[in-house]
Amino acid sequence: MSDSPLLIQDAGGIRTIAIHRPDKLNALNAATLDALDAAFADAASDAAVRVVVLTGSGPKAFVAGADIAEMNTLTPVQGRDFSLRGTRMMRRVERLPKPVIAMVNGFALGGGLELAMCCHLRIAADSAKVGQPEINLGLIPGFGGTQRLLRLCGRAATLELCLTGAPIGAERALQLGIVNRVVPAADLEPETMKLAAQLAASAPLALRGMLDCVNVGGECGIEEGLEYEAAQFGLVFSTEDMREGTSAFLGKRKPVFAGK
């Protein structure tokens, strides 16, 4: 029996990665952060993988947070290193050249919300709860929570969530722009896989270009972002997929993208 904290499955170009620590509500310890980093590096390099779906095992939690028992013993230097460890992994996810969908099946608190926010899209069950409760532990978010919340939902909501530590329901998270969709819990997996299949059938090089443009644009000025987008737009004209897509449109047929 594997000791890995992850369960990984492939089907139809979709790789599902489930954090599997149900007795800890899938809390993120150092070993889990390292396993996720390796899993996403592998997904990036595997040409058969078009889309990644990230979720948590069990009905209760996506990820309930970082592992408090492990953090309780850390020194200040070790605490900083733990933060950087998680931040590096989440930047890998954020910069993955393939779409990553967070399937938020329950609690996404602290490090769990931070992990969901670094994914490109988030679909939540209507029963899910999200939040940054670190203040209740005498801590602050350490895996990018203050920064990604700020970019997703603005200063006022970020300060409310971080300063109070109070969790919010999925519908409020949708209103704030933290998640993209909310569906009944029973429909979460089929709805997520439906979206994943749609993306898996799309032109992978165009998807990569869009992800690159949004990542660059979120971290630079408008002029630089527009220049980068124009360059990426030109590059896709060199792809077989662009010729296939435009020819299929003109021929009134469904395109078949090869990722070339």
pLDDT digit string, tens, across residues 218-237: 999 999 999 999 999 999 99
Average pLDDT over every residue of 139-152: 96
What predicted TM-score, i.e. pTM, was given to this entire model?
Answer: 0.95
Identify which of 134, 138, 143, 133 has the alpha carbon closest to the alpha carbon of residue 166.
Answer: 133
Q: Which domains does the chain have, with CATH numbers?
A: 6-200 (3.90.226.10), 204-250 (1.10.12.10)
Angstrom CA distances, 186 to 168, 192, 230, stand at 20, 11, 42
Structure tokens at 143: 């895996």
Alpha helices (H) along the chain: 30-45, 68-71, 76-94, 111-118, 145-164, 170-176, 188-200, 204-217, 222-236, 240-250
Query: Which residues are marked as active site?
Result: 114, 134
Of 31-40, 47-56, 142-151, 250-259, where does mean pLDDT reach its minimum? 250-259
% of the chain exceeding 70 in pLDDT: 99
* Residue 159 to residue 175: CA distance in whole angstroms: 16
SS3 for 88? helix
Structure tokens at 145: 């929570």
